[in-house]
Amino acid sequence: MNDWMRVNRIRGPVYILTAGVLGLLAEFTRYGWSRTWPVWIIVTGLLMFAQYNARRHAIESGEIPGVPPVYPPQYPPTPPGTELAPPAPQQYPPIEPR
């Protein structure tokens, strides 16, 4: 198991532990849920940073393959004489003033 998979597997338990710690802070201190919301942003940012670094390391070391480039589909050329003609311009009747 590489580090990238390990970071993905600990994401749920880290959020549960964070919720427990913040719940204890809300219960036993003056810091309620409304004052501890930045902790969620910090924890999420740390997990995203760890996941990015672990994935980059895994790709560089060859543990997981990188994402191949995506090319547009190559269609065969249209045979001569089968092209669609552009639509003819529509002629509208002149507008008469009232």
What secondary structure letter does DSSP report for 33? T
Sign of the torsion angle spanned by Cα atoms 23, 29, 35, 41: negative
Per-residue pLDDT of the chain (98 residues; tens, 9 = 90+): 677 788 889 999 999 999 999 999 999 999 888 889 999 999 999 999 998 888 888 877 777 766 676 777 677 766 777 667 666 777 777 788 87
Q: Where are the domains of the chain?
A: 3-61
Smallest CA-to-CA distance from 56 within 41, 70, 45, 67 is with: 67
